[in-house]
Structures are given as C-alpha cells and as structure tokens.
Structure 1
Amino acid sequence: MALLKVLLLLLGLGVSVNSAVSLQKRIIGGNYCDKTGRLFHVRLEGMSRSHRILCGGSLIHPNWILTSASCWTSKTGWINVAKLKVHPGTSKPRIPRIKANPVVYASEGSQHDIMLLKLPIEVSDVPLAQLPDCSNRPKIGDTVQLAGEGETNNRQISNAVAATQLQCVDMPVVEATHFLPTYGHVFSAKAQNKDVCYGDYGSAVMFKGKIYGVISPGGTDSECHSPVSIMDVCEYIGWIKTTIGSK
C-alpha cells in the first residue's frame, strides 16, 4: 500500500528518497499480504510508448475481472493486459491481453467507477474472489482489509511502478454507503498513518473473506488521500451477477 505522508517524514529525517527499494522498506501502515490469501489478485497494466498505468483487480469468475473503471485506457496506441498469479510471486505471471470491451456500470447516462473485464481465455487454475453476502455488509467501525501494489514514491499515475510484493492494510469503516457524484455508491475507510495511492486503485477490499469493495480514486487524482473511497460492491451485485452469468 502507499502513503504520501512518508515522503515528508523521510525528507524531514534527511533520508534519501531516490531509491524505490528504500521507500518500500519504509511504507507506513502496510504489511506483505499472507502468501495463501488474495491469490485472485490481478495486476492490470495499460501501456503506450511513453506511459504506463498500474491498477489492481480481482478474478471473480473464470472469465471476469472486477476492478475500477478508472483503470481502463482505450486511447489509440494503448495496450491493456491482465497479469494473473502475481501473488505470492512464486510462479511466472500469466499475461492475457484484454481484447473484449470493458463493461462499465451506467445509470441514467452516467458511468460509475466500477467495471468488469472479460478475459479472452477461461482461467481454471486461479482461486476466485468470493462475492459478498450483502445481508452482512461491513458497518461503521468494522475492519476491512485493503491491498495493492502501489509504490510510495510515485505520484504520477501515468508512470506507476509495481511494488515488489502485494501489500495489505487493515482499516476501520468510517462512513457508510453514500452516493458520490461522478463515481457512484461508495463507503469509506480511514486509519491513522495508513493510506492507499496510485497503483492500488481497483484492488479488492475484503471483509470476512469476501470482496465487499473496490478501491476508487474517489474524486481526486492529484495525490494520495484519506479517507479511502471504496466502491460498494453490494450496490452493484445484481449488475455483476447478470453480466458474468452467475446466480
């Protein structure tokens, strides 16, 4: 996970911030994810000749990835790929190119920041993220787990670089589901000295072993922010199940 405040801390201590490795050792609030969990995590990359966008995603069906709509670039000259088996990094990632058009949720002519991507091949050897039990949604004060591969030292979303390992962080929910204009239905999580940043968008927010949220920029692309805006998967569960053909 990423935390912008660590840059100011390191500068104040006179520590060099030129090395990505040195920064990864000083991330505040995050730890390496358990090697047996989050095997469904997907690294999404959009690439052009001069830029690269990094995001996370979750395999929720053998053919479908759930992520943030902010993670897709359809401009001419860009290539979008999905890297499976990036966690825990014990095997070589599989990299299918995403050829199908993304399916973005839309209501009354407005798109929300949640998206499904259909893979060109069916995946049979990666565990799937479990969809939520929406009768038992996280409430204010409940702890959810966020994860991502964003790096602390990269504020440019157009040139994001993946961290060496997937990192997880626990945060309590501080705001219940509400509607955020231009983004959609979100809830929020926040904890002192913990945050997410570029490269973490689209990754799963877990509660009791199930995916209840998708990390979203939540209205700002200028810097890492707190509290974290999370797309509420339960608000879109009907659309998700209809799209992927699940009961």
Structure 2
Amino acid sequence: MALLKVLLLLGLGVSVNSAVSLQKRIIGGHDCADTERQYHVRLEGSNGTHMSLCGGSLIHPNWILTTDTCWKSETGWINVAKIDVHQGPGRWRAFRLRNNPVVYNPEGWRHDIMLLKIKKVANAPLGQLPDCSYRLKIGDTVQLAGEGATTTGPNNEQISNFAPATHLQCVDMPVVEASHFLPTYGRVFSAKARNKDVCYGDAGSAAVFNGKIYGVISPGVPRYACESAASIVDVCEYMEWIRARTGLK
C-alpha cells in the first residue's frame, strides 16, 4: 500500500526530493482561533537533507491519531512530534518518536489511519473523539486544518515546496459523500467547497464536527486545487480499534 501511495503521489507531480515533501496546505481558509485545536500536533520527518510534514491530534497523553502515510520508516529518517503548536516557535514541546506506529490492518493491508505512541505528555489539551451515535451525512459541515501555504501555482496547480505556515489554518467544508469504502485507504467520507481545499502536508490533521474529531485527512490529492473532494478517514469506523489500543473509554 505504501508503494502504491508513493506512485500515486509521483503521478500527481509531487517531488519527494523537495525541501518539504508530501506537504499539504489549506486553501481558502483562515487563521484558526488560538482557542481551537490546541491538541493539534505537527509531525516532521527528516533525514538531514529532506523533510516531510504532516498533522496529527493528541487524543491521549500517550497517543497521537494521524494517517499511516505520516511515518517515515526509511533508513536515516527521524520522526518528531511537536505538541502545543499554537504556542508558537520556541514554546512547543518536541518528542522524538521511537516506537513503531500502530496501523489498522486486519485484512492484511494497511488502512490509512495510524496511532503513534509517545512519552506521556503532561498538561496538554486532548482532542475529543466522536459521538458515533450520530454519523455524518451529506450537508454536514466539518472543519479541516493544516499548516502549509495558502496559495497555488500557475493554472491553480498545487505547490509542494512550502515551509509550514506561521499560524494553523482552518477551513469549513460540507460533506458531499457519506462514509464508504475506498480501496487502499479504508472507510472514508468526502468534503468539498468552492475555492477551498487541502493539499500536501495536511494529511493526518483532524476533521472536526461539533468540536469532536470525526475524521483524519487522507493524503491522496489531485494535481490541481479545488477540483476534487477531500477524502477523510471516518474515525467512527475505527473506534473499537482506537479504544483497544489506547485504553480510552
């Protein structure tokens, strides 16, 4: 599955040798309020020459929820989680990720959702998991977020070589397709809005509804911005697994 995703990204014109690879950004959004998403985690990978950028959510003092694409397993890469991103440079807490990720793969292939275990974090806000007695339907509005640039290239082409934005970006998008099965990704729903999009690097960040994390942004994106709906992993489909792994009730 990992190889398939790399091939898909290469086919979309993404340079995996860029200064910041596999990056996404929020297009058509706005600065998240400082009181929002304080559980947001920046996930960075580096091999000394290249870097990768993703998002995640601290859902337990020991656990981050993200997408499986956000783990760099190649020799020489170091994975780091930055907590308290809202506090700004020099104030966040960085944790080197040494434990292997936990990925959902009951059928023998990896779904696009992952848990990262970290050293216990004290005094950090935690994201709330969904109330799955209510399932998202078409027309519901979810809030997505990310840390990349907010512009596109010529002909609205997505750009990959941008450092993280100075402030977390948020964007509201309505659900246009309810939960369904997508091969190689798992159970997902889709959101789309005119002149709004997520792109390389927002993968792993939360899709929020009524203040709760109902989804995790999936990394697959088209070459041009604002053309296709964003695919979002449906967290409700994986709650039994998340609770079993983390001990959350």
TM superposition score normalised by structure 1: 0.83
**d(CA) in 1 for partners of 2:89 and 2:107?**
45
Counterpart mapping for 1:1-247 below 5 A: 28-89=27-88, 92-119=91-118, 121-151=119-149, 152=151, 160-218=162-220, 220=221, 222=223, 224=225, 226-247=228-249
User: In structure 2, do the counterparts of structure 1 residues 65 and 31 end up closer, same or farther at CA, with 3 Å as the change threshold?
Assistant: same
CA contact (8 A) 2:202 2:219 kept: no
Percentage of identical aligned residues: 65
**d(CA) in 1 for partners of 2:164 and 2:27?**
17
CA contact (8 A) 1:161 1:199 kept: no
**d(CA) in 1 for partners of 2:216 and 2:121?**
21
CA contact (8 A) 1:160 1:199 kept: no
User: When the two structures are aligned, how many residues end up with a matched partner?
Assistant: 218
* 1:63 CA drift (Å): 0.2
Query: What SS does structure 2 have at the residue aligned with 1:109?
Result: coil
Question: Could you give the per-residue CA deviations for residues 42-66 of structure 1, whole angstroms, max 9, x where no partner exists?
Answer: 0000111221110000000000000
CA contact (8 A) 1:67 1:202 kept: yes
CA contact (8 A) 1:46 1:79 kept: yes
Query: What SS does structure 2 have at the residue aligned with 1:236?
Result: helix
**Structure 1 counterpart of 2:13:** none
Question: Could you give the per-residue CA deviations for residues 107-164 of structure 1, whole angstroms, max 9, x where no partner exists?
Answer: 2111001000000x2112111000100011221101110001022459565x552111
User: In structure 2, do the counterparts of structure 1 residues 49 and 165 end up closer, same or farther at CA, with 3 Å as the change threshold?
Assistant: same
Residue ranges of structure 2 left out of the alignment (5+ in a row): 1-25
Question: Could you give the per-residue CA deviations for residues 178-233 of structure 1, whole angstroms, max 9, x where no partner exists?
Answer: 11100100000000000001121110000001000000023x47555620000000
Query: What SS does structure 2 have at the residue aligned with 1:107?
Result: coil
Letter of the 1:115 counterpart: M
Letter of the 1:180 counterpart: L
User: In structure 2, do the counterparts of structure 1 residues 60 and 192 end up closer, same or farther at CA, with 3 Å as the change threshold?
Assistant: same
**d(CA) in 2 for partners of 1:142 and 1:71?**
27
User: In structure 2, do the counterparts of structure 1 residues 193 and 153 end up closer, same or farther at CA, with 3 Å as the change threshold?
Assistant: closer
CA contact (8 A) 1:146 1:168 kept: yes
TM superposition score normalised by structure 2: 0.83
* 1:173 CA drift (Å): 0.3
* 1:177 CA drift (Å): 0.5
User: In structure 2, do the counterparts of structure 1 residues 223 and 245 end up closer, same or farther at CA, with 3 Å as the change threshold?
Assistant: farther
Letter of the 1:125 counterpart: N
**d(CA) in 2 for partners of 1:90 and 1:51?**
20
CA contact (8 A) 1:88 1:166 kept: no
CA contact (8 A) 2:27 2:198 kept: no
Letter of the 1:122 counterpart: K
Which consecutive segments of 4 or more residues in structure 1 shift more than 4 A?
153-157, 220-225
**d(CA) in 2 for partners of 1:109 and 1:64?**
23
**d(CA) in 2 for partners of 1:30 and 1:88?**
20
